Amino acid sequence: MFNNHDTTRNAFMLTGLLAHKGYDWWWHSFTAQDEETGEDKPFFIEFFICNPALAEDEPVLGQLPENREKGKYPSYLMVKAGCWGEGKMQLHRFFSLKNVRIHPSAPYEVEAEDCYATENSLRGSIHITEEEKETHPEWMCDSGDIEWNLEIDKQIAFNVGYGASKPLRGAEAFAMYWHAEGMKSAFKGTITCNGRKYIVTPEKSYGYADKNWGRDFTSPWVWLSSNCLVSKVTGKKLENSVFDIGGGRPKIYFVPLDRRLLGVFYYEGKEYDFNFSHVWLNVKTEFSFEEKEDTVSWRVRQENKYAVMETEISCNKKDMLLVNYEAPDGTKRHNRLWNGGNGYGTIKLYDKQGSETVLVDEIEATHIGCEYGEYDD
């Protein structure tokens, strides 16, 4: 059963070796409505911690030339926030980890000045001028202003299991771990972006919250998820459903596995599990990514002993960002990491009945969080 809430897996993980060479982040994405026009606008907020044991009085930025020359690894809390679509942007605010309060166990809590994140609340602000953006390319961000005050209700979880559990903290078998405590989340509150106010309501937030941690990033890097789903068979909105697909090419003890994905569909209370690490399910996965002039597209086919899920997703490039991260060793490996919140597409879900597959539903998905990036080893 993957819908198993466990806040210990959402706790701060950078202990032991990972404190010196590791990252830990909490990601949140959701949709808000313009207070004046009612128009949808997708946003994201992330708290990213890197190499806490290497903290100095000021944030240590891995892309700063003088730090690269000295061989310094990055160390900071980076608060990342922004939006997709018209006026898309990613903003970064950095704090020395000497000035950050981090609760060492579950439930997690991170606080630096007015930026605050817990299991059920988010507050903060970022203000980057055009001059600061041009003067500090090492910040890896755009210019703009954003403030937020939000509550979160994490309703359905994707508990990946297999190595992402508390007993393996410090063992670092995998290079990158994943836990989605709020695969389906309801957000509530307000967000102000470049002078416009947006209202966030639980019914129309289509929210998502997960975390990753480890010593390096996967390549390829795949993520697709949405809980804004409508059955093409009945025409009705699926109120108690969500799908989530992630992964790419995991590494265990530095040895890369074949291209693999973790995928699930919580369909109106029934769990469809395509987690490759659950060997008893005999999961098989095929996936591809295509970049065209105006769009990017994902095709994923996952099969287990009992079911099949076929996913086809696209997103307009004009609505997307190329998001920036640096790895704990200071390298910036992903330089073309497509990231969006305006994805759209269809999912076909089948049950296996003997030698036949029977269509359960064909689902139209919108407000899809989507990501893809790949780099040469």
DSSP per position, 25-75: EEEEEEEEEETTT--EEEEEEEEEEE-GGG--SS-B-TTSHHHHHHTPPPB
Residue 240 lies inside a defined structural domain of this protein: yes
Instruction: Print the domain residue range for 305.
Output: 7-373
Tokens of 109: 């809590």
Residue 198 lies inside a defined structural domain of this protein: yes
Residue 2 lies inside a defined structural domain of this protein: no
What is the per-residue pLDDT for 257? 45
Residue 350 lies inside a defined structural domain of this protein: yes
DSSP per position, 63-113: TSHHHHHHTPPPBEEEEEEEE-STT-EEEEEEE-GGG-EE-SSSSPEEEET
Residue 1 lies inside a defined structural domain of this protein: no
Tokens of 24: 């830990």
- Taking the C-alpha atoms of residue 112 and residue 217, their distance in angstroms, rounded to an integer, is 25
| Predicted confidence band of residue 250 (pLDDT cuts 50, 70, 90) | very low
Name the nearest CA neighbour of 110 among 82, 144, 76.
76
- Higher-confidence residue of 41 and 258: namely 41
Residue 162 lies inside a defined structural domain of this protein: yes
- 48: CATH: 2.40.370.10
Structural domain count, the chain: 1
Q: Tell me the mean pLDDT in the region 139-158.
A: 98
State pLDDT tens for residues 206-249: 999 999 999 988 888 999 999 999 999 999 999 999 999 998 65
What is the per-residue pLDDT for 244? 98
| Predicted confidence band of residue 255 (pLDDT cuts 50, 70, 90) | very low
- Higher-confidence residue of 164 and 333: namely 333
State pLDDT tens for residues 2-33: 999 999 999 999 999 999 999 999 999 999 99
State pLDDT tens for residues 277-298: 788 999 999 999 999 999 999 9
